[in-house]
Homo-oligomer: A and B are copies of this chain.
Amino acid sequence: MINTETSHMQTSAIHLKGIKISQNTTERSNNELGEITEPISTPVSVSEQQEWYGAPRPLSTSMLRDFRNKVRSGTFTGPTNGVCPGYLQCNMVVLRNGQDAFDFMLFCQRNKKACPLIEVCDVGSACPLGIAPGADLRTDIPKYRIYRDGILEEEVTDVTDIWPEDSVAFLIGCSFSFDEALTKGGIPLRSVEQNKCVPMYKTNLKCRSSGSLGGNVVVSMRPVKALDVSKMVEITSKFPHAHGSPICIGCPDAIGIQDVNKPDYGDAVEIKSDEVPVFHACGVTPQNIITESKVSFAITHSPGHMFIADLPSDTVF
C-alpha cells in the first residue's frame, strides 16, 4: 500500500529558525536575513486531506499563520497560554519507533485523562496531517526539551537536527484549549492576566502502567472563584480531548501537593481568598513518566510551550 501520509511528509519543506541561521548555506539566504517567510511546503490537496472517513477540515487563519511563522523564525519562544484563542493546543512527545512508542501509545490509551491522544504521525514524519497539514513539528513549537535516559539534557527552539529517522510523534490535548471557552464564560485566567505560565505540579496519583512506562499524574492549576467552580466543570467537561473536567477541586493535599505556591513546572500564581484551586490532569505527565521510567530518548515540548493546530479548540474527535 502506498502511504500517502508518509510521502507527503517526505516532500515537506525544511523550515529554519533564527537560532539555526549560522548553520545554513547560501541557497537559503532569504531566510538568513531573519525575515518571516511562508514555508516552502508541498501543498496538501483537498483530496489528500479528506481521503478518510471523518477527516477533520483544518482551518488556517492569518492569525495562526502569523503565529506559526513567528515560532518557525525563532521570534516567538514563550509560553502559549492565551495565544491564538479558540485554537487547539497540544503537548508533544517524540519517541523512537519500537517498544518505547508502543508502550507510550498504550500508556495514553490507559491514562486518557492525563494523555488524551489527538494525533500520531506516521513513522519518521513530523507532519501532523490530521490536525495541521502544513505544519512541521521540528520547528513549530516555541521551545523543546530533549531527554536522554530519562534525564532532561537540553532546552532548544528547533529540533530539526536531532529528529530521529524512526520517530513516532504523539500530540496530546492541552487544557490551554479550553481557556477561551472559560474566558467567554466569565472565568478569567490568572496566569494570562499576570503574563505567567500556568503552574503545574507532580501528584501522588499513580498512572496505570504500560510495559516499561509508569509514574504519577502531573496537574495544572487554575484559581477559580468558589461561585464559578461548577460552571468551570460544566465548560471543561465538553473538552474531553483537552483533559476534560478537573480531577481535583480544592485540597491540594488530597493529591500530594504540599505547597501550592511552589509548582514543579510553570510559575506560581496568586489564589485569592474567595477562590479555590482547581486541578486538571496535564500533558506534562509524559515528561514525568519519561524521567521516572528512564526512557532512552525523547523530544517533548517545554511545559507551557505548546503546538497550536489548525483546528478549533472545541473540535469533536
Whether a CB of chain B sits under 8 angstroms from the CB of A296 is no
- CB pair B102 A1 closer than 8 Å: no
How many copies of this chain does the complex contain?
2
Chain B residue with the shortest CB-CB distance to A213: B1
- CB pair A105 B113 closer than 8 Å: no
- CB pair B206 A52 closer than 8 Å: yes
Chain B residue with the shortest CB-CB distance to A52: B208
A298–B53 alpha-carbon span in the complex (Å): 24
Contact residue among B117, B207, B293 (Cβ-Cβ distance under 8 Å from A53): B207
Whether a CB of chain B sits under 8 angstroms from the CB of A13 is no
- Centre residue among A97, A117, A205, A217 by max chain B CB count within 10 A: A117
- CB pair B106 A110 closer than 8 Å: no
A212–B2 alpha-carbon span in the complex (Å): 9
Within 8 A of B (CB), among A197-216: 205-209, 211-212, 214
Besides A52-B207, A52-B209, A53-B111, 14 other CB < 8 A contacts? A1-B214, A5-B209, A52-B111, A53-B217, A53-B247, A54-B111, A54-B113, A101-B102, A102-B105, A105-B106, A105-B109, A109-B117, A110-B130, A123-B211
Contacts from A to B (Cβ < 8 Å): 1, 3, 5, 51-55, 97, 101-102, 105-106, 109-114, 117, 120, 122-123, 130, 205-209, 211-212, 214, 217, 247, 293, 317
